[in-house]
Chains A and B, each alone.
Chain A
């Protein structure tokens, strides 16, 4: 059924079962008009969430049994293909019958990764290409953030405004209290304007996090990472984490794509990791090269071929603009990667 029909169906009460990765289950009753997240929150079910508006995708779940409709009037950071596969954002969906939903993280995750608020000071601010800034900052001494998963993000408050924006760490937990970000500077935007016009070393920014369920999962299987633009940031954190864990037995493929050569960045950092990790295969893809280009001449996902899928349990991470994420998911599924092993992070809500 389509989601618009779904909203129209009136159900008075249904039983919702939340099933976490560690096997822990919570049951709760959903009354009319309550989102799944409302149900979870009023019953202390540890479902991860953040924005409550369907844009951060952290509250994602997968419907295993029953019908769950989703509010189609709102912008949503869920891919159409994900919707078709039964993924829902709990903050914008409603139980239409008794149902079972799977959360792809252990029930202890929110407890182990509690967000906290603090301040960072910018130590380095470097333009790594014509529209991308690399920021290295240090957390204040009293910051509570001692842990985060590779791939998670934080929110930063844009100085001089009341606006918060999300950014993925490219650094690892091990480097705390230092954190590093790669941020694309748009022609117009609250954070973008700040970075272009006012940002300076020594600036302090409020920080809130960590957040998100886009993080490094099963490590003992081949990994495919597909990144568009600054979507490379969380991948860098994951690659360094794999490296530190001496993960070297299974292949890791990083497909990093940009439209033009001038959009590439962090090439030196990637090259170093290439020499340190024998199992790492970096494919730099430029879809519209202007001059001579001896890397891949295609969109990032298309550098992945059937030969790369050597294990049915291959895990994939996608982070880029919606069109890339969508196309990459379809491509990987057509090559035989299981839908539930594909993890997606959206940097913008379209």
Chain B
């Protein structure tokens, strides 16, 4: 029996108690799979530093395989990715004093100028599991002492079709494609937002926020009839998905009798414009991945992640997936992606979301917003998500130590750091100019 039958909103202290773990997850959830990079961001031999849930991670591709290690040198804590140095295909070397670690197990295998050091072979750095699929690189971000079997990537991605067509039917778009489907075309982008990751998540499926998209160019150009908002009507509006061995989260049954699209507000004399019906459906899964089916065009699906970097920055991922049966279809989709959907949807349309999340951050940053907010009926799915996340997470990320963001007031540097663009990077680049090695 699910506990979320009653989707009505009473967001008093007692309700909040029910999702306490979510409130505690300022730095995100740990022991989950997260996207780390697109494959084409990491060509052969390249090194890239990222940070997820407070954990710095360095990615390196060697002989085709992507490896992920803790991006923090055992010796004095610098990030390997700040100035990548790889002397062979099996290791990564710290640019500072030459501590060298195996890519396959993280062990300290030698030190450039001290090959006899007693530390060698006795210690190492954390290594993370990696999966690369259809042009995306995923990392299993876990605690250092994780010793269980690693759950399959599919459990941390949205539900798949056709296997769920019967349970969650939609005549207009059967067989929503998945990241994991063979032969799908995946195109997307990611960038850093300046808000807590949870605010971003909650914006992703916010049923009441369509107002911010009202004036968006794509909506106008295509004359989409995007409602002002979508209002849950009964306890069937939201379906909880809680299979033990599968994705866990919830699905909004939009455009069924359980939801009412709000098309006008006579008091304010405001109406949804646009003649062309725009049917879509949102669902949200652990550890914070959104699926918008039939968006932005028919038979395409948009996936989004809001990956905590620190407690006040997140990496916003947007990915479109389409099953293309012919080379021609693929070419045309890629063309539309580059020239229409990227500029007008992933940027234009979703830029408004990015702005809204950043705008919420001040209210929530010191923790008081979570107590002081006054949620309304339109927010039923927000509460459902908070409860799902509380129940289904595999662990709460601890506030980190000794990394960017663990001390407050670094968030500007941090956004840069997440992109591998460091304060001090200019000096490094200048140095490189004169050193042609």
Tell me the A residues contacting B by CB distance below 8 Å.
174, 243-246, 248-249, 269, 272, 275-276
Contact with A246, one of B17, B20, B390, B395 (Cβ below 8 angstroms)? B395
- Is B21 in contact with chain A by the CB < 8 A criterion? yes
Determine if B18 and A272 form an interchain contact, defined as CB atoms under 8 angstroms apart.
yes
Most buried by A among B17, B20, B147, B390: B20
> Are A249 and B147 in contact, CB atoms less than 8 angstroms apart?
yes
Contact B396 A249 (CB under 8 A): no
Q: Are B396 and A272 in contact (CB under 8 A)?
A: no
Number of B interface residues in the complex (CB < 8 A)? 17
Extra contacts besides A243-B21, A246-B30, A249-B147 (20): CB < 8 Å: A174-B24, A244-B24, A245-B398, A246-B31, A246-B143, A246-B394, A246-B395, A248-B394, A248-B395, A249-B148, A269-B17, A272-B17, A272-B18, A272-B20, A275-B3, A275-B390, A275-B391, A276-B21, A276-B390, A276-B391
Shortest A170–chain B CB gap in Å is 13
> 9 shortest A-B CB distances, which residue pairs?
A246-B395, A275-B391, A276-B21, A276-B390, A276-B391, A272-B18, A246-B396, A246-B143, A244-B396
B15 to chain A, nearest CB (A): 11
Contacts of B398 in A (CB 8 A): 245
CA–CA, A191 and B26, complex, Å? 38
B389, chain A: closest CB distance, angstroms: 10
Nearest CB in chain A: distance from B24 CB, A? 7
* CA gap between A243 and B22 in the complex, in Å: 12
**B contacts, CB < 8 Å to A:** 3, 17-18, 20-21, 24, 30-31, 143, 147-148, 390-391, 394-396, 398
Q: Note all chain B residues with C-beta closer than 8 A to A246.
A: 30-31, 143, 394-396
Q: How far is the CA of A245 from the CA of B31 in the complex (A)?
A: 13
The residue in chain A whose Cβ has the minimal distance to the Cβ of B3 is A275
Give Cα distance in the complex from A244 to B148, angstroms: 18
CB distance from B158 to the nearest CB of A (A): 22
CB nearest to B14 among chain A residues:
A268
Min CB distance A123 to B, Å, is 11
Task: Name the CB-closest residue of A to B244.
Answer: A278
> What are some 19 contacts across the A-B interface (CB < 8 A)?
A174-B24, A243-B21, A244-B24, A244-B396, A245-B398, A246-B30, A246-B394, A246-B395, A246-B396, A248-B394, A249-B147, A249-B148, A269-B17, A272-B17, A272-B18, A272-B20, A276-B21, A276-B390, A276-B391
B31: chain A residues within 8 A (beta carbon): 246
Q: Which residue of the partner chain A has the closest CB to B18? A: A272
- Which chain A residues lie closer than 8 Å to B18 at the CB level? 272
Instruction: Tell me, in angstroms, the Cα distance from A246 to B142 when the chains sit together.
Output: 11
In the bound assembly, the distance between CA atoms of A275 and B396 in angstroms comes to: 15
